[in-house]
Copies of this chain bind each other. A is one copy, B any other.
Amino acid sequence: PAGARPRRMANSKYEYVKDFELDDTLLPNCWIVVRIDGKGFTRFSELHKFEKPNDKRALDLMDACAKEVLNEFPDVRIAFGESDEYSFVLHKSAKLYGRRSSKIVSILVSCFSANYVRQWSNFFGNQPLSSTPMFDGRAILYPDVKTLRDYLTWRQVDTHINNQYNTCFWALVHQAGLSNAEAQATLKGTDTGAKNELLFSQFGINYTHLPEQFKKGSVIIRRHQEFVAKHQDDGTAVVRTRRVPVVMYCDIIKEQPFWSENADLLS
């Protein structure tokens, strides 16, 4: 609501329609994951000529939007993104919107979507945004740290599988000149080792040398950062620290070093 509006709505005759608004409060003491997913991004990425298999501008834009979500919502402790999806983990004690599911999901999606447009030109320069980027979202609860960590592992394993597949696929299409169907047929049933071998022998690509952002996805957490809070009369800078979201491309499956170094994240 906006402005000086008095929220009385003293029209008792119709107010009964509010009884149809059912409660969707999320169970307390559970970690809340909000996963958002691009709608129709295959078409969106073609329309905007995203590089295949990965467009660094598009991934950086995703990361920038996710950082804004962390700036707006302190309850978000960690975020993980890949391709056109992002997962936001809210602390199990989060009280945002009284833990009402649809409110939480929609406001995060709204923040992300509006930022996608706001920051588009920071990453795509003069290339116009020629259709509306849209994301849907959902909330998932994890009652304990183990299942939450398994969720994050699941997403990062997915990043690897997709990236490896897509790297092969687009090499076959762009460099070897195969059709999409031929590329798909070539890859069908191949395991991780065979795919790496194919990349190396046929295209000279060493998979392990590809950018970490493509192989691992993006992790966002908050880090202490020094900043100049003000200057004293004599000109000396007063330096303070604040916590700001930072993007990392690193393993979040193994305990070492990420989780041991960031033990407070899930405490």
A74 within 8 A of B: no
Interface string of A15-48 (1 = CB under 8 A from B): 1110111111101111000001111011011000
Interface string of A152-168 (1 = CB under 8 A from B): 01100110011001100
- How many residues in A have their beta carbons less than 8 Å from beta carbons of B? 89
Given A1-B37, A83-B3; A118-B129 close (CB under 8 Å): yes
Which of A105-113, A204-212, A241-249, A257-265 interfaces with chain B?
A105-113
Separation of A213 and B21 alpha carbons in the complex (Å): 27
Interface contact A105-B102, CB-CB below 8 Å: yes
Q: 4 tightest A-B contacts by CB?
A: A143-B143, A2-B41, A14-B154, A23-B23
Q: Which residues of A contact B (CB under 8 A)?
A: 1-6, 8-11, 14-17, 19-25, 27-30, 36-39, 41-42, 44-45, 50, 52-53, 68, 72, 83-85, 92, 97, 100-103, 105-107, 109-118, 129, 132-144, 147, 150-151, 153-154, 157-158, 161-162, 165-166, 169-170, 180, 184
